[in-house]
């Protein structure tokens, strides 16, 4: 793994980034999320495969958890790192310094004409911390109605509807969570875990904070108590052959 510092003018930055690509996976670390997003917006015409790995949209002592949207984006980027041959990621110091509480990323991949045991699919969604409901209206939930399975992956802007014939997926569509009406057809979809804490064992957390092992924890408490765990994982653990580049914006001006 290479850790480089880029100190050049903004005009020549895209050229230098091209020269710096010593590997097919490159991560550019900016001071803030704002500058990482500006980089993608300004240079996406040169490379369409720039992804953003955002930091949590919360502060340390906020009384709420990072949004599903942010968690979904972070998990989707890690999936890209693990499964694609070429990827360019823009991120911030804050994002790469935040700990990750899983050693490997489990996802569900669905495509038209795929054969998958319906009951096993439900078990996999529960393993990924999706909550079964009567009707899918919010991210992180799924519902079953006969041979139809609705699920709202946190990495998608709309929920998806799977129609099965036995154990074969014969239809995959987006749908509106309010009207429940199906819309555009999809060929495939990736469902990432419903939370970054999908591998967390509640007993480990309670033991770390010396609390009653029968105590019920809500999502906010899980995120707060996880900070007491000894996990040292971060984005660096998922990029064995990637090249990290620190972009010094102040010296690029």
For residue 52, give the nearest of 19, 8, 17, 87 by alpha carbon.
87
Report CA 216 to chain centroid distance, whole Å.
Answer: 26
pLDDT in tens, 78-125: 999 889 888 889 999 999 888 888 888 999 999 999 999 999 999 999
Domains and CATH numbers, the chain: 2-100+242-252 (3.40.50.300), 108-191 (3.30.2060.10)
Q: Name the token pair of 119.
A: 């009951």
Instruction: Give percent helix, percent strand, percent coil of the chain, each to the nearest 5.
Output: 30, 25, 45
pLDDT, residue 7, reads 47
Q: What's the DSSP call for residue 250?
A: H
pLDDT, residue 171, reads 96
* Angle made by CA atoms 94, 41, 158, in degrees to the nearest 5: 80
């Amino acid at each position: 793994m290479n850790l480089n510092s880029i100190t050049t003018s903004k005009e020549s930055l895209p050229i230098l980034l091209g020269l710096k690509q010593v590997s097919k996976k490159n991560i550019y670390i900016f001071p803030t999320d704002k500058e990482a997003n500006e980089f993608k917006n300004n240079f996406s015409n040169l490379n369409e495969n720039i992804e953003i790995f955002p930091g949590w949209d919360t502060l340390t002592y906020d009384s709420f958890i990072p949004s599903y949207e942010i968690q979904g984006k972070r998990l989707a980027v890690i999936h890209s790192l693990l499964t694609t041959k070429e990827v360019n990621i823009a991120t911030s110091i804050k994002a790469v310094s935040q700990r990750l509480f899983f050693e490997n990323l489990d996802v569900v991949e669905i495509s038209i004409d795929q054969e998958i045991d319906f009951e096993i699919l439900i078990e996999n969604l529960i393993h990924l911390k999706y909550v079964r409901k009567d009707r899918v209206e919010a991210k992180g939930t799924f519902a079953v109605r006969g041979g139809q399975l609705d699920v709202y992956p946190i990495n998608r802007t709309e929920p998806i509807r799977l129609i099965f014939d036995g154990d074969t997926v014969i239809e995959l569509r987006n749908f509106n969570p309010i009207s429940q009406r199906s819309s555009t057809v999809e060929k495939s979809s990736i469902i990432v875990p419903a939370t970054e804490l999908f591998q967390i064992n509640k007993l480990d957390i309670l033991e770390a904070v010396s609390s009653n092992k029968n105590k019920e924890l809500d999502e906010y408490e899980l995120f707060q108590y996880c900070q007491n765990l000894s996990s040292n994982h971060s984005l660096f653990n998922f990029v064995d052959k990637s090249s990290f580049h620190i972009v010094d914006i102040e010296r690029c001006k």
